A = this chain, B = another copy of it.
Amino acid sequence: MDTNKPDINEIADRVVNAIMEHRLPPGIKLAEEKLAAVFGVSRTKIRQALTQLAKDGLVKLHPNRGAFVASPSIQEALDLFATRRLLEPEIVRNTIARAGKAELKRLHQHLALEADARERNDRRAIIKLSGEFHMLLAEVSGNGFISKLMDELCPLTCLIIALYDAPNTPACPEDEHTRIVEAIEAKDVERATSLMLHHLEHVERELNLDGRAKPDIDWDRMFG
């Protein structure tokens, strides 16, 4: 824990991290006083962090009732994946066109982290790093707007996984990220975009988005 007073963005980042690591489940209440105590700051800063998080949909603000971690509906989940299927091939194309050695090195370093987490069977780290891979790719692809949107969509994807993941999913078999980076390095646009699309479809297909599933909060798994 930092002894220094955290910045608003630091607070927001740490909440995002907790959400991505599934330490904050969808729908849970984020009481201002509690957070203020945890971070050692006043409610004012917490409120600012929460309104920021609300702006990109990770947190829902109910007037006079408080802030809650979002729990995206099935429709939102479908829209999200549709958006990612549109954006990420473009990200891959841009990366191939624009990324240099430094960028590729960052990708490899990230892949190492992912491999490490999978080695340790650290499911929380795996989920978070999987999301962050796509955020990193967007960043090195060079378009700030797309990157910012991906910074929003990836944490939401983690929430969606928390809500709709089939319990038996075996922590992603994926060296899929590795293969995508390989195709990028080979500057093979066709293969890289195709791998990316299959990867996204793969992730989406693992989920229960058929409508018969959990409506809001998954009380069963929250305890069981």
Instruction: Please name all residues of chain B whose beta carbon is closer than 8 Å to the beta carbon of A116 when the two chains form the complex.
Output: none
Q: Which of A46-86 contact B (CB under 8 A)?
A: 47-48, 51-52, 55-57, 76, 79-80, 82-83, 86
Given the known inter-chain contacts A79-B144, A144-B76, please indicate yes or no for A8 contacting B51, CB distance below 8 A.
yes
A143 within 8 A of partner (CB)? yes
User: Could you tell me the distance between the alpha carbons of A82 and B142 in the complex, rounded to whole angstroms?
Assistant: 11
Q: Contact string, A148-187, partner B, CB cutoff 8 A, digits 1/0?
A: 1100110000000000000000000000000000000000
Whether A80 pairs with B145 at a CB distance below 8 angstroms is: yes
Instruction: Please name all residues of chain B whose beta carbon is closer than 8 Å to the beta carbon of A83 when the two chains form the complex.
Output: 143, 145-146
Instruction: Please name all residues of chain B whose beta carbon is closer than 8 Å to the beta carbon of A44 when the two chains form the complex.
Output: 44
Q: Contact string, A14-47, partner B, CB cutoff 8 A, digits 1/0?
A: 0000000000000000000000000000001001
Q: By DSSP majority rule, is chain A's interface helix, strand, loop, or mixed?
A: helix
Q: Contact string, A115-156, partner B, CB cutoff 8 A, digits 1/0?
A: 000000000000000000000000000111110110011000
A87 within 8 A of partner (CB)? yes
User: Could you tell me the distance between the alpha carbons of A114 and B83 in the complex, rounded to whole angstroms?
Assistant: 29
CB-contact partner of A86 in B87, B144, B152, under 8 A: B87
A204 within 8 A of partner (CB)? no
Whether B82 pairs with A143 at a CB distance below 8 angstroms is: yes
List, sorted by A's number, 12 A–B pairs whose CB atoms are closer than 8 Å: A8-B51, A47-B48, A48-B48, A55-B56, A79-B144, A79-B145, A80-B145, A83-B145, A83-B146, A86-B87, A86-B146, A149-B149
